[in-house]
Chain A
């Protein structure tokens, strides 16, 4: 009887949790993330799968955690009660599924290959409207200023991290989850979990971070600049006569330009623009548009979230690097908003037509939340100053800008 009870006890996870209480911290983290996703609605589509991935990855014996590899890809695992050391890149996918479990199979098939972020970018493209950007094309340049945070944090982080790790951390400043994940997979896959969590958490905190940086850097007069009045004072001589045709040609042209200058950004920008193209073509591609923006994107989101969460095992997450990533990610985000605002201020010094600095602040991606937040701030200073459409221009160009920045980092350090 005692033997049976002992075997039942051995079957449960109690002893492992007692031996290594740090598992409890991971459960707590998972519960907090689940609470933020479910109750507070912070990026629920990604935060809930990530949080659940964290939870199931940290039950000892469950076999759902993604195994951490060393620099050469060696993994240690138990097989038939014996410890085995193997190079994961020499294992076939069925072997990975059989020996390491289904989550490792999903991770190495879908994430490590870099498949899912471009697929999600295709869905994002299918849901993006380039109309506001095309109508206010000049404002798109402020999407470049907001990439400052990426490179500023790279400069700081390289003192504590390797260059590849620092670049993966810095890309959080692009405020684009799939871009951050794609870059990290290519440069520092062992940091995927904390970087994805930091990126999505800060994106969810855009309504807090943007007003904070704006308050610290902009005056009341600057925030009261009414864009419609400026348009009346200095009207644009560009009139779009056929927006539909323009919207169809635009993604093809952007892909071509980016592919020639930064080929390493094509997996992201190319898929973004492909998604957008099938949306703009209209009725004849409505079936694939529907698939890209719904079924495919939703499936990709589920697997991306779960796999990223499953990388956050006790050993991989509870260390000083994670704290550095959380702090560095915040800095990158703040510097990006600051960079966008400063570029607008610089522009205003030399131009008669003044631009509201909020348009620079939205140069970081996080579409469309950053624009909505900026619009709310503008309305506080002038209830007639609707800047949403103007902000969307720099906001959407920020997506292209951060993908290009990621491409540069991968090309130089990958």
Chain B
């Protein structure tokens, strides 16, 4: 048991020190990465805006009318269609 205790004590020292070193390295690397990214890729690429097509361009009048009627029927006349998006 005494051997176990000294081994556990050794593991405690090695273990805690290693965790500290790893997290310190993560912090240092993180800071270096922040500096590198700020220097070489400072601008965040903005997703290209896809111009939203008007509803009329996506569906023809008859389809739009059918959707409107279906929504009206389902919601008892309380709901209305604001936007139709093609998935």
* A residues whose Cβ falls under 8 Å from a Cβ of B: 134, 137-138, 140-141, 143-144, 147-148, 150-152, 154-155, 158-159, 162-163, 166-167, 238-246, 249-250, 253-254, 257-258, 261-262, 397, 400-401, 404-405, 408-409, 412-413
Residue of B nearest to A260 (CB): B25
How many B residues touch the partner, as a band?
Answer: 20 to 34
Q: List 22 A-B contacts (CB under 8 A).
A: A137-B34, A147-B15, A155-B5, A159-B5, A163-B7, A240-B37, A242-B42, A243-B44, A244-B44, A245-B37, A246-B37, A254-B29, A257-B22, A258-B22, A261-B18, A261-B21, A261-B25, A400-B26, A408-B11, A408-B18, A408-B19, A412-B14
Choose one: B11, B25, B30; the contact of A250 (CB below 8 Å): B30
Answer whether A401 and B27 are a contact pair too, CB < 8 Å, given A158-B5, A245-B41, A246-B33: no
Choose one: A134, A163, A253; the contact of B8 (CB below 8 Å): A163
State A409–B19 Cα separation when bound (angstroms).
12
A335 → chain B, closest Cβ, in Å? 11
B67 → chain A, closest Cβ, in Å? 28
State A404–B20 Cα separation when bound (angstroms).
10
Residues of B with C-beta under 8 A to A261: 18, 21-22, 25
State A241–B14 Cα separation when bound (angstroms).
37
State A166–B45 Cα separation when bound (angstroms).
50
Q: How many A-B residue pairs have CB under 8 A?
A: 123
Tell me whether chain B's interface is mostly helix, strand or loop, or mixed: helix
Residues of B with C-beta under 8 A to A409: 11, 15
Question: Do B19 and A147 touch (CB < 8 A)?
Answer: yes
Tell me whether chain A's interface is mostly helix, strand or loop, or mixed: helix
> CB of B4 within 8 A of chain A?
yes
Question: Do A144 and B30 touch (CB < 8 A)?
Answer: no
User: Which of B16, B27, B31: most chain A CB closer than 10 A?
Assistant: B16
> CB of B51 within 8 A of chain A?
no
State A242–B19 Cα separation when bound (angstroms).
28
Answer whether A134 and B34 are a contact pair too, CB < 8 Å, given A158-B7, A163-B8: yes
Question: Do B44 and A242 touch (CB < 8 A)?
Answer: yes
State A249–B21 Cα separation when bound (angstroms).
20
> CB of B58 within 8 A of chain A?
no
Residues of A with C-beta under 8 A to B24: 141
Residues of A with C-beta under 8 A to B5: 155, 158-159
Residues of A with C-beta under 8 A to B23: 140-141, 143-144, 397, 400-401, 404
Residues of A with C-beta under 8 A to B38: 239-242
Interface residues of B in 31-83 (CB under 8 A from A): 31, 33-34, 37-38, 41-45
A171 → chain B, closest Cβ, in Å? 11
Question: Do A134 and B22 touch (CB < 8 A)?
Answer: no
Residues of A with C-beta under 8 A to B20: 141, 144
